[in-house]
A and B are shown apart, each in its own frame.
Chain A
Amino acid sequence: MSAAPGTRLLLASVLVVATCGLVYELIAATMASYLLGDSVTQWSLVIGVYLSAMGLGSWLSKFVVKDLHARFVAVQLVIAVVGGLSAVALFYGYAYLASVRPLLFSILVIVGTMVGLEIPLLMRIVGDGQELKDTVARVLAFDYVGALLASLLFPLALLPHLGLVRTSLLCGLFNAAIALACARVFRAHLPRPRALLVQAALICLGLAGGLVFGGRLERLAERELYDAPVIFSEKTAYQRLSITRSGDDIRLYIDGNLQFASSDEHRYHEALVHPALAGVNPRRALVLGGGDGLAVRELLKYSALERVDLVDLDPGMTRLFGRDPLLVRINHGSLSDPRVHVHNADAMRWLEEHVRTGSEVYDVAVVDLPDPNNFSLGKLYTGSFYRLLRRALSPAGVGVVQATSPYLAPRSFWCVVKTLAAAELHPRPYHAHVPSFGDWGFVLVSPAPRPEPTRLADVPLRFLDDALLPTLFVFPRDQRPPEVDTNRLNDQLLVHYYEEDLRALPGRGGRG
C-alpha cells in the first residue's frame, strides 16, 4: 500500500492536528486551574466542554459537501490563530476582564469544534478512492498517537522549557505550517489557492514573531502565576485578589504581587506594629492600607485601645478578610472587633478630610500600603501625604510606615526615609527578615523626636523580643543610604526609583 505524497502529508497533518488539539486543551485546563483555583472542577469542565465541542464539530462536518481541501486549510488556520493565541488571551483576559470564564469557554468551544470538524474532513479527503476500513484505521491510529505525544510532550518538554504562552504559539505555528503545506500541495483542488497561501503565510509569520517575542509576553504573564494552587481569586473594582494554599501556608497576592504568607506574616506584622508601640499604650489607632486585618490583629493586643480606624481603598478586600473563615482564622477576626471601624476610601482623601475637619488625632498610625509601583500608590508615599499623617497624629503620637525593602529596593527605601524627614516626622529606619519577602524595611515616625525604642510592651509575641529589637535599627555596611531625593506629589520620583530598583534585580522580589 503506497501512499501518494498528498496522503503522507495528510497523515502527518492528522498527527500534528491531534497533538496540537490536545495541547490546547491541556493549556486551557492548566491555566483554568492556575487562575481560577479548584483544579478538579476546572480540569473536568475543560475536558467536558472540549470533547463536546469536538462532537459538535464532527456533526457539523456533514454540512461540508464541497471544496473539502479549502475547508480543511481554513479550519487549520482558525485553529492556528485561536489556539495559538489562547494562552496570551487568557493571561491578558485574566488581568483585564472581570471574569475570564467566558473567554476560556469561547476558546475551548472554537478550538474543540474546529478540531472535531477536521478529523472527518481529513478522513473524507484521505479516503477518496480507498476502503472505509483502511481510512478509519489509518486516520484514527495517527490521531491517538498524536494524543499520546501531546500528553508526554506537554508536561515533560513544552511546559518546563517554553512555558504556556510559547507552547500555545508553537502549536499554532505547527497548525499554520500544516495549512501552508496543504495549500501548496493541494493548490489544484483549491478555488482561490493564492489567497489561502498568503493568509497561511501571514499567520505563520505572525505566530513566529510572537514566539520570538514570547519571552517578554511570558514574563509579563508569569506575574499572574503562583507557586501554589489558587483557592480563591476575585477581581474587585481596584485589583485582583488571589489566595493560594500549599499545606498550611496561605498566601495573598494583589495583582500578582505577594502580600503575605501565613507561615511568616507574624514576622512582618510584629515588626510593623510593636516597635512603634514600645512604651506607648495607645487609645486611638489609625491603619492606612492593611485591609487584611493583620496589623489590626497586632494592635488589638494593647489593652487600652478604644478605637481603630482602618482605611483601605478596596471594599472587596476588607469584606473578604472580614468574612472568609480561613482568613478570619489568620487575622483572629480583627475586622469584626467592635473597636474597629473600616473606611473604604482613598487614604489621601480620607486623611485630608480628617485633617481639614479637625477630627480627633491618633496615638498611633500604621501605614501598611502596597509598594509604590504606580502613581496612584506613589501618592501615598509623598511629602504631602506624610504632612497629613503628621497632622493626624497627636503631638506625642507615633507611627510606622512600610517602606519597601532596603536590600531589594534601596533607593526606594531611603527615598521614603528622606521624604519622611522632610515632612518633619523624625524617621527611624529599621528592618527585619521576613523569609517570603526577604529583608524588609519600615520607618518609625513621630511629630516630636523620640528615642529609639528599647523595651517592647508586654504583649504576646512570636518573633520580636527585647534582645532583637535594637538590632533591627542596625544597617550593615552594604546597606548604607544611597544618594536620593525626596518624593514629591508633583514629580513622584519614588515611582521611578522603585521601577529602577526592581529592574536592577536579577529576579523579582519583595511584595511587588
Chain B
Amino acid sequence: MKRREFLGATAGTVASAACGPGQHSPPLSEFVGPDPERGHHLREGTWREGPVHETIHTEVAIVGGGAAGSAAAWRLRRAGLGDVHLFELEDDVGGTARGGELPRSRHPLGAHYLPTPPPGCLALERLLEELGVILGRDARGRPEYAPSAIAAAPLERHFGRGRWYEGLYPAAGETADEAAQWARWHAHLRDLDGRRGADGRPLFAIPVARSSAELRHLDAVSFAAYLDDLGLVSERLRWALDYACRDDYGCTLAQTSAFAGLHHFLARGLEETRGGFLLTWPEGNARLVRGMLERADLGDRLHRGAAVVAVDPHAGELRVHRPADGRRLRVHARAILWAAPRFVLGRLLVGADPLPAGALTYAPWLVASVDVRTAPRGIGARLAWDNVPLAGPSLGYVVATHGESVDARRPGAVLTYYEPLCGDGPAELAAQRQRLLAGDLSTWSDHVVAALAAMHPGIASEISRIAVTRWGHAMIRPVPGLLFGESLARARAPIGRLRPCAADVAGLPLFEEAFYQGCGAALAALADLGRNAPDALADELPA
C-alpha cells in the first residue's frame, strides 16, 4: 500500500468539518499504474536469486500483458493452442493501455484510442469484429463500426490567449503567408496520399514494416529538417505538427524521424478523405486488451503480479518471482514471446544481449485522471473530446466521459491529462525520468491541477479525485534512423526460443504495431512448434 498514499485525507476531513456546507475538501490523490519499485527490483536484480517453489512446463510463455502480449495470447487461442501462460509484472494487465476507475467513470492510464484501420488490416478488423466494435459490413464490404466506440464531435479544440478555438490548428490571426504554408502542407500530404512505391507497397503502411522502400530514406532526417527543406516554417504549422509528434510519439518535431512524422498523417489515409473514425472507450485501449484476454481465456494461466526475473532464451527457461507472496516459479517453455519492453530483457538475460544497452530510447510520460464535479466549459469553442493548450509542455486533457450516452445525464466528468517529458538525448531523458519518479504525489497532483487551472481558472475547487500515473518508459521514440536501422533489426531478432514482440521493436508506439507484433510472433511460435494456423491472414505474416 506504499504507493497508495492518500494525500490530505485527514486534512480533508478536518477541513470539511470546519467549513460550512458548499465547501469542498481538497482532492484525494493517489498514484496508480506501474509500480516504480518493481522496475527498480528488476534493474537491481534483487529478485533474481532464490529457491524455486514450483515448476511449470508450457508450450508458449508470454511475458507482458499489454497490447502485444494480449494479442499474442488471443492469436494463439484462435489457432487452437491452449497451453499458454502469460506473466504480467503489474497487478493489472494492460501495459501502457491500462485502465483505471474513479468514482465518476473509468479512465485510461495511457493509450486511449485506435483509429479505424485502413483497408488491408484484415487481422485487426477480425479482432474488432470479434469484440463487437465492427457490427457488420456495408454493401461494398467496408466495416460498419459501433457508434458507442466512435469518438463523436466535437473532437478537438485548442486554448490560446484566454479562449478556446475549434480544431488543433491555431488559425486565429494567421497571416496570408502562414495560411499559404498550411495549404501547401496539405497539398504535400495529398500528393503523397494513397501512393505506392515501385515495389507495389504503400509508402506508409500499417504495420510500418510493410511500408515501401521508396521513402525509407526519410527516416534518416528529422521531421523538423524535412519541414525546413519544404520551406514550411510557419510557427502555427510547426506547433500543430509538433503537437502531433508529442501526442503520438512523445517526441518533439526535431526528435521525430520524418518518416515517422509522415506515417502519422498518411498511414491510414488522409484524415479529410479516409472516412475513418477514432475508436475510443472510457477506459481507453484497456477495453481492447481486456477483450483479447477474455477471448484468450487463459484462466489461472494468466499470472498477474508475476515478475520475470531471469531469462534463459536457449533453454527456454524463465524464473518468475511473485512479490505479493514471495513464491518463485521456474517456467520451461518451448517458445517465449517477449511482449514486455525490449530494454528490460537485457537486464534479465542469461548471457549477453546482442542489443547494446541504450540502443532504443523511451519517452517518459505523466498521465493523470481527475474526477471533476462539473464538466469544464470555457470561453469560445465548446468542450471537446480532446482539449489542448497552445502553451506549455502538456497535451491538455481528454474527456473520458465524452462518449457517455445522453440518458446518463450525470453531472461531472473525468478528464485525463497527458504530458510527455521530452528530452533530446539519453542524458536529458534520464534526467526527465529521474524528475518524474522522484516527484512525490503532491508535487505531481499540484502540477496537474496547475496545468488544468491555466485553462480553467476555477477548476481546482471542482476536483474531487486525482489518479496520477508515472510512466518511466511509456513508449519507444521513433528518432531519426531507428525505424529501418540496425538497432531495431537486432532488437526484434529472435534469441534462441525467445521472440521480442512488443510495440517497441516495431519502432512506432502504436496499438496496431503491438497487435501485429503479437500476432506475428504467435504465428512464428506456432510454426516453431510445428503447428499450423490455417486461418492466418496475409497481413499477419512476415512482410
A and B held together in a complex: yes
Interface check A355, CB cutoff 8 A: yes
Q: How large is the interface on A (under 10, 10 to 19, 20 to 34, 35 or more residues)?
A: 20 to 34
Q: Is the CB of B144 within 8 A of A346?
A: no
Question: Main secondary structure on chain B at its contact with chain A?
Answer: loop
Residues in B114-160 with C-beta less than 8 Å from chain A: 132, 135-136, 138-139, 144-148, 150-155
Judge whether A375 and B147 touch: CB under 8 Å. Answer: no
Given A375-B152, A490-B152, A491-B153, decide whether A352 and B147 contact each other with a Cβ distance below 8 A: yes
| CB atoms of A346 and B405 under 8 A apart | yes
Q: Contacts A345-B407, A349-B407 hold; do A490 and B139 have CB atoms under 8 A apart? A: no
Question: CB distance B407 to A388 under 8 Å?
Answer: no
- Most B CB contacts (10 A, CB to CB) among A356, A424, A489 go to A489
Q: How far is the CA of A413 from the CA of B345 in the complex (A)?
A: 60
| Inter-subunit contact B409/A489 (CB<8 Å) | no
> Which residues, 142 to 189 on B, are CB-close (under 8 Å) to A?
144-148, 150-155
- A385 to B152 alpha-carbon distance, docked (Å): 12
B153 A344 Cβ-Cβ under 8 A: no
Complex interface residues of chain A between 356 and 392 (CB less than 8 A to chain B): 356, 375-376, 378-379, 382, 384-385, 387-388, 391
Say whether A237 faces chain B, with CB atoms less than 8 Å apart. yes
| Residues of chain A with a CB closer than 8 A to B275's CB | 488
Whether the pair B277, A375 counts as a contact (CB closer than 8 A) is: no
A349-B277 contact given A489-B153, A490-B155, CB 8 Å threshold: no
Q: Which of A238, A488, A495 has the most CB of B within 10 A?
A: A488
> For the complex, is A313 an interface residue (Cβ under 8 Å from B)?
yes
Q: Closest A-chain residue to B278, C-beta based?
A: A490
Known contacts: A391-B135, A424-B138. The answer to whether A490 contacts B144 by CB under 8 A is no
How many residues of chain B are within 8 Å of chain A by beta carbon?
A: 23
Chain B residues in 8 Å Cβ range of A488: 275, 277
User: B198 contacts which chain A residues (CB < 8 A)?
Assistant: none
Contact among B144, B148, B153, B278 with A349 in the assembled complex (CB-CB below 8 Å): B148
Q: Indicate which residue in B145, B277, B406 contacts A346 across the interface (CB closer than 8 Å).
A: B406
- Shortest B404–chain A CB gap in Å is 9
- CB closest residue in chain B, given A356: B132
Contact A489 B147 (CB under 8 A): yes
Residues of B within 8 A of A385 (CB): 147
A332 to chain B, nearest CB (A): 28
**Would you list which residues of chain A between 467 and 512 have a CB under 8 Å from chain B?**
488-492, 495
Contact status A376-B148, CB under 8 Å: no
A352, B146: Cβ atoms closer than 8 Å = yes
A180 within 8 A of B: no
Q: How far is the CA of A379 from the CA of B407 in the complex (A)?
A: 13
Cβ–Cβ < 8 Å partners of B277 in chain A? 488-490
Choose among B135, B136, B145, B147 the residue with the greatest number of A CB atoms under 10 Å from its CB: B147
With A379-B152, A489-B150, A490-B277 already in contact, the answer to whether A349 and B405 are too (CB < 8 A) is yes
Give CA–CA (A356, B131) in the complex, Å.
Answer: 11
Is A123 on the interface with B (CB-CB < 8 A)?
no
CA distance A490 to B155 in the complex (A): 7
Q: Are A352 and B153 in contact (CB under 8 A)?
A: no
Which of A344, A352, A356, A424 counts the most B-chain CB atoms under 10 A from its CB? Answer: A352
Distance (Å) between the CB of A288 and the closest chain B CB? 13
Q: Are B135 and A388 in contact (CB under 8 A)?
A: yes
* Given A313-B406, A391-B135, CB of A375 within 8 Å of CB of B150: no
Distance of A382 Cα from B151 Cα, bound (Å): 13
Which chain A residues lie closer than 8 Å to B154 at the CB level?
375, 492
Identify 8 residue pairs between A and B in the complex whose beta-carbon atoms are under 8 Å apart, listed by A's number.
A345-B405, A355-B135, A375-B152, A379-B152, A391-B135, A488-B275, A491-B155, A492-B154
Q: Which residues of B are at the interface with A, using a C-beta cutoff of 8 A? A: 132, 135-136, 138-139, 144-148, 150-155, 275, 277-278, 405-407, 409
Q: Besides A384-B147, A489-B152, 10 other CB < 8 A contacts?
A: A237-B409, A238-B409, A345-B407, A346-B407, A375-B152, A376-B406, A384-B144, A391-B135, A391-B144, A491-B155
